[in-house]
Amino acid sequence: MSHSSAVTSASERLHALDALRAIALLLGIVLHAAMSFVWASPRFWIIQDIHPSLILNLLSFTIHVFRMTTFFLMAGFFARMSFRRRGSLGFVRDRLQRIALPLVIGWPLVYVPIALIVIWAANFPNGGPLQGASGWMPALPNFRLTHLWFLYVLLELYVAMLLLRGVIVRLDASGALRALIDRLFASAIRNPLAPLVLAIPFGIAFWLDPRWGYSMEVRTPDQSLITNAQAWICFGTAFGVGWLLHRRVDLLRLIERRWLAHLLLAIVLILTCFVLAGVMISAPGAPKLPYSFATLRLVAIVLYASAIWVTTFAAIGLVLRFMSGFSPTWRYLADASYWLYLIHIPIVMALQVALSQFDWPGLVKFAIILVVALPPMLASYHLLVRFTFIGAVLNGRRAEKRILPQGGIATA
């Protein structure tokens, strides 16, 4: 392959992965819009709709399986790319601007309306603060990071990776250790069982959490400034895999070739885990089962940890296979997704509360929430963010307006 074609191929893969990062954020909006329609006891969202939906339950479960692991893998991949381009100081300045600043400024702007909506939801049956949750007034170390917890964890991972890299570079002046790590990583990814190998630290993290099984997920670190060990292990592993994958971008082609096998296995694992989650929730009150809850939990841990990585690999393979190449639409959505995700929670929550008591099918109300929420959110991005200093902060650059020959306005 010539140098020019190699550069083009790499560029196409980056377009696909940038789209995947945007998809992970946009799926977060879909996930949160579906949360009020998921039946759970005890309730885990600020409002539970009078018409829960099994389809939306499965949709939210599916998104929950892989979304954040995929996001943190992409974050690690693009973090190393930024580090290589900017150097240490440039990387730190860029992360402070694009991650730390939105967290510090954005948190009070979303926290206040969220708190007000929770108070409003308390006026409805099956709504309001969650049972056993800490108070809404921030008190250290308990601190409701809301959906912005991912920014806080990203900052922690950046610091950890820079420190680890600094130690390795100091101890490995010849580069032999880094070359060995690259070879071992490449060997692991080339193995068809790679997702199962990467699932091992996830499974260990789940096993060490006695509460895991009553809730099948990676425990979200959104209630405290002290990030729980499970989130550190799981999201840290994904971030590290992304960092190493950028060192060996040739491995992306291998993941792309396996997209169909990973997708089919992911569907089987997700459906199995979904059924298993229902069995585990009902197990304590069910008639005596022929197997213990501990056995059921161990099976769930193995299957769910595997589902996370198989689905993550399937998602990467799918975008590489079908979304490579530049797309103006996905470029725009990739830029917009960050802003949309930052602002969406209060808007979605307000619509969920407003619609919660209407005697309409859950799927209809879910569609209304998305149809009503997304257009004004996109408009706010285009009018208030894309061509302003806010866009420069969030995306690292300010888009320029370009006048088309016909007199229309195109976005850069």
Span 253-268, average pLDDT: 97
- How many CA within 13 A on the CB side of residue 282? 10
Residue 9, pLDDT score:
46
DSSP 48-117: --SS--HHHHHHHHHHHHHHHHHHHHHHHHHHHHHHHHHHHHHHHHHHIIIIIHHHHHHHHHHHHHHHHH
Span 301-320, average pLDDT: 97
Residue 349, pLDDT score:
97
Residue 283, pLDDT score:
60
What is the residue range of 119's domain?
3-411
Which residue, among 204, 187, 150, has the nearest Cα to 21 in the 3D structure?
150
Residue 44, pLDDT score:
86
Model confidence at 129, pLDDT cuts 50, 70, 90, reads confident
Residue 397, pLDDT score:
76
pLDDT score of 410 more than 50: no
Helix 194-207 to helix 293-322 angle (10° resolution) is 140
Q: Give the integer Cα–Cα distance in Å for 279 and 43.
A: 18
pTM of the model: 0.91
DSSP 149-191: HHHHHHHHHHHHHHHHHHHHHHH-TTSHHHHHHHHHHHHHHHS
Per the prediction, the chain carries an average pLDDT of 89
Cβ-based neighbour number of residue 373 at 10 Å: 19
Q: What is the pLDDT of residues 134-173, one digit of tens each?
A: 555 556 567 889 999 999 999 999 999 999 999 999 999 9
Q: Give the integer Cα–Cα distance in Å for 387 and 150.
A: 25
Residue 407, pLDDT score:
40
Residue 214, pLDDT score:
79
Model confidence at 5, pLDDT cuts 50, 70, 90, reads very low
Span 80-105, average pLDDT: 96
pLDDT score of 378 more than 60: yes
Residue 263, pLDDT score:
98
Give the count of domains, the chain.
Answer: 1
Model confidence at 189, pLDDT cuts 50, 70, 90, reads very high
- For residues 329 and 90, the answer to whether their CB atoms sit within 8 Å is no
Q: What is the pLDDT of residues 190-244, one digit of tens each?
A: 999 999 999 999 999 999 998 887 788 999 998 889 999 999 999 999 999 999 9
Strands 401-403 and 409-411: antiparallel
Residue 242, pLDDT score:
97
Residue 71, pLDDT score:
97
pLDDT score of 270 more than 80: yes
pLDDT score of 373 more than 70: yes
- For residues 263 and 325, the answer to whether their CB atoms sit within 8 Å is no
Span 306-320, average pLDDT: 97
Residue 43, pLDDT score:
85
Q: Give the integer Cα–Cα distance in Å for 31 and 17.
A: 21
pLDDT score of 404 more than 80: no
Q: What is the pLDDT of residues 351-362, one digit of tens each?
A: 999 999 999 999
Q: How far is C-alpha 106 from the chain's CA centre? A: 18
Model confidence at 285, pLDDT cuts 50, 70, 90, reads low
Residue 40, pLDDT score:
81
DSSP class of residue 219 equals P
Span 323-328, average pLDDT: 88
